């Protein structure tokens, strides 16, 4: 399980080799054998004994800020990346292998976006034509991405990220159109979020960043050596690269919450600078996100929990880097295929959300 503590004043302690959680008048005892990671929001107290217990069981402790962005973590000090794998990561950015990977990642992300818009269109017949048109524009971006050629990522980075940006504007315009009228938004806004949807999405993305970083470390990948995202001091470039493959999970959860009419203004604190999730909002989002990530779906030839596809893909990337990526036959774009019937806004299972 993923242990998430977001109640101000919660205490996490060690007791008889177990995790003891104290929140207000409630307490819970958890075995470290059942915990994969611990996420801590602001205002949570923990002891050094808890940190040691987590490290001994390879449980990472992730610290989240008020908008859900991870700003630190506790992890054992043993380097997980072999010299051969780290060297392969560095070499890929200067070779055609890196171009193949970068093109693959962008293609997968854009295919997810087009598929999501078409799924939303099926359940919203009054907006079907507009959403389908936006999906078609993203399809054209995919064709352009697949047509790019080069011998090093540096030659194509601007082109690929430019195409990704054009597709993203169409995509988020479509997501806005799929929402009830009162919650529609104009483009992406990060920190601070200018609307409720982006506020939810930013927090959900923050959780995914932590999961991808952990998966990189477990797989022996260096999270600071990326391809599409350039290297910089303390920049998790590979995490930013790989999270693009999984953003659709956060987007689906947020859309589903609006479709199920679970979102209200009371879940947010609004200040002059924008929106922030309050305790009730964080609880709803984190519970919904974790429930979704615990679903199983077909992933390539495997039936995996959605959360387990993240370490699976990181381990797959490590293997491909070490073995060499010689041809495009290595690329499996079906690996992230989703069930088109998983949107709870389907008319048979959920009433259409009101438009005002």
Average pLDDT, integer, range 307-311: 92
Q: How far apart are CA 52 and CA 67, in angstroms?
A: 27
For residue 133, what are the contacts with CB-CB under 8 A and spacing of at least 6? none
Is residue 93 within 8 A of residue 228, CB to CB? The reply is no
Residue with tokens 């992890």: 75
**Token duo for residue 338:** 């989703």
pLDDT tens for each residue of 238-248: 999 999 999 99
**265 phi and psi, to 5 degrees?**
-60, -25
The number of beta carbons lying within 10 Å of the beta carbon of residue 154 is 14
User: Considering just the CA atoms, what is the radius of gyration of the chain in Å?
Assistant: 21
The β-bridge relationship of strands 11-15 and 45-46 is: parallel
| pLDDT, position 245 | 96
**Token duo for residue 19:** 């995790």
Burial of 252 (0-12, 13-18, 19+ CB in 10 A): buried
Q: Which of 33-37, 181-185, 232-236 has the highest mean pLDDT?
A: 181-185
Residue with tokens 């507009």: 130
Q: Is the peptide bond before 304 cis (omega within 30 degrees of 0)?
A: no
Can you count the helices (H) and strands (E) in the chain? 10, 12
Q: For 162-196, b where at least 16 C-beta lie within 10 A, e where not — what string? A: ebbebbbebbbbbbbbbbeeeeebeebbebbbbbb
| pLDDT, position 287 | 93
Superfamily (CATH) of domain 84-336:
CRISPR-associated endonuclease Cas1, C-terminal domain (1.20.120.920)
Angle at 334 between CA 188 and CA 295, to 5 degrees: 70
Q: How far apart are CA 69 and CA 100, in angstroms?
A: 30
Domain with CATH 1.20.120.920 in the chain: 84-336
Average pLDDT, integer, range 170-174: 97
Domain with CATH 3.100.10.20 in the chain: 2-74
pLDDT tens for each residue of 175-185: 999 999 999 99
| pLDDT, position 252 | 96
pLDDT tens for each residue of 184-228: 999 999 888 999 999 999 999 999 998 999 899 888 899 999 999
What is the value of pTM for the model shown?
0.78
Average pLDDT, integer, range 15-31: 89
Q: Is 179 helix (H, G, I), strand (E, B) or coil?
A: coil
What band does 23 get if pLDDT is binned at 50, 70 and 90?
Answer: confident
Architecture of the domain made up of 2-74: Ribosomal Protein L15; Chain: K; domain 2 (3.100)
141, pLDDT greater than 90: yes
Is residue 112 within 8 A of residue 332, CB to CB? The reply is no
277, pLDDT greater than 80: yes
> What distance lies between CA 320 and its chain's CA centroid?
22
Q: How far apart are CA 198 and CA 276, in angstroms?
A: 10
| pLDDT, position 67 | 67
Q: How far apart are CA 138 and CA 211, in angstroms?
A: 27
| pLDDT, position 285 | 95
Q: Is 235 helix (H, G, I), strand (E, B) or coil?
A: coil
**61 phi and psi, to 5 degrees?**
-105, 115
Average pLDDT, integer, range 82-103: 90
pLDDT tens for each residue of 9-19: 888 999 899 99
């Amino acid at each position: 399980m993923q242990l998430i503590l977001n109640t101000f004043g919660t205490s996490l302690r060690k007791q008889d080799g177990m995790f003891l959680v104290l929140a207000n008048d409630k307490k819970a005892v958890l075995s470290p054998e059942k915990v994969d990671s611990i996420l801590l929001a602001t205002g949570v107290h923990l002891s050094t004994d808890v940190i040691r217990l987590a490290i001994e069981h390879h449980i990472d402790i992730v610290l989240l800020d008020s908008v859900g962005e991870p700003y630190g973590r506790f992890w054992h000090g043993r380097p997980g990346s072999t010299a051969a794998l780290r060297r392969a990561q560095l070499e890929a950015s200067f070779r055609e292998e890196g171009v193949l990977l970068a093109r693959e990642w962008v293609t997968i992300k854009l295919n997810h976006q087009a598929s999501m818009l078409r799924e939303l269109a099926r359940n919203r017949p009054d907006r079907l034509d507009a959403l389908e048109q936006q999906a078609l524009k993203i399809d054209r971006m995919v064709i352009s991405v697949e047509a790019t050629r080069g011998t090093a990522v540096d030659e194509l980075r601007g082109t690929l990220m430019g195409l990704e940006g054009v597709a993203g504007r169409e995509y988020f315009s479509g997501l806005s159109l799929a929402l009830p009228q009162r919650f529609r938004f104009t483009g992406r806004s990060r920190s601070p979020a200018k609307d409720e949807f982006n506020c939810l999405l930013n927090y959900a993305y923050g959780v995914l960043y932590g999961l991808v970083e952990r998966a990189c470390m477990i797989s022996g990948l260096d999270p600071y050596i990326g391809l599409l995202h350039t290297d910089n001091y303390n920049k998790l470039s590979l995490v930013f690269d790989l999270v693009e493959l999984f953003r659709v999970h956060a987007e689906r959860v947020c859309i589903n919450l609006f479709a199920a009419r679970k979102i209200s203004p009371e879940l947010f604190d609004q200040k002059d600078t924008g929106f922030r999730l309050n305790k009730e909002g964080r609880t709803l989002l984190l519970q919904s996100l974790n429930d979704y990530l615990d679903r199983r779906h077909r992933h390539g030839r495997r039936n995996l929990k959605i959360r387990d596809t993240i370490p699976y893909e990181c381990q797959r990337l490590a293997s491909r880097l070490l073995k060499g990526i010689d041809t495009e036959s290595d690329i499996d774009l079906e690996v992230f295929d989703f069930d088109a019937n998983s949107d709870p806004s389907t008319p048979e299972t959920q009433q259409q959300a009101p438009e005002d």
